[in-house]
Amino acid sequence: NAGVTQTPKFRVLKTGQSMTLLCAQDMNHEYMYWYRQDPGMGLRLIHYSVGEGTTAKGEVPDGYNVSRLKKQNFLLGLESAAPSQTSVYFCASRADRGIYNEQFFGPGTRLTVL
């Protein structure tokens, strides 16, 4: 099993450009999450999904959109990138076996917005 994979690993955008980050998991997990990690801020939840076709806002959703058309994939979109969105983005997934389940994280995407 590959676990949680993220594409791309690195990306540089100019202000106003758009892009989509792809997260894929092969563990048949119901729950998927998108986080951003900034120095001194810890990991913050952007959006999450509790199953195929569902999405919901996390702590810092502004400027991002998500889609979960297939159970194994969770896409994070930036419609008009801003320098404040320069960050490292992590995707995570979790099984639905009850309440005590750890989240498994992908390797991250480092995004720079100029």
Partner 1 sequence: EDQVTQSPEALRLQEGESSSLNCSYTVSGLRGLFWYRQDPGKGPEFLFTLYSAGEEKEKERLKATLTKKESFLHITAPKPEDSATYLCAVQARGGTSYGKLTFGQGTILTVHP
Question: Which spans of this chain sit near partner 1 (rule: CB under 8 A)?
Answer: 4, 31, 40-45, 48, 50, 56, 58, 90, 92, 94, 99-108
Within 10 angstroms of residue 106's Cβ, the number of other Cβ atoms is 24
| Nearest approach, Cβ of residue 16 and partner 1 (Å) | 28
Residues facing residue 108 across a β-bridge: none
| Nearest approach, Cβ of residue 15 and partner 1 (Å) | 25
Please, which residue, 26 or 79, has the CB nearer to partner 1? 26
| Nearest approach, Cβ of residue 42 and partner 1 (Å) | 4
Q: Is the dihedral of CA 24, 4, 65, 84 positive or negative?
A: negative
CB 80 within 8 A of CB 74: no
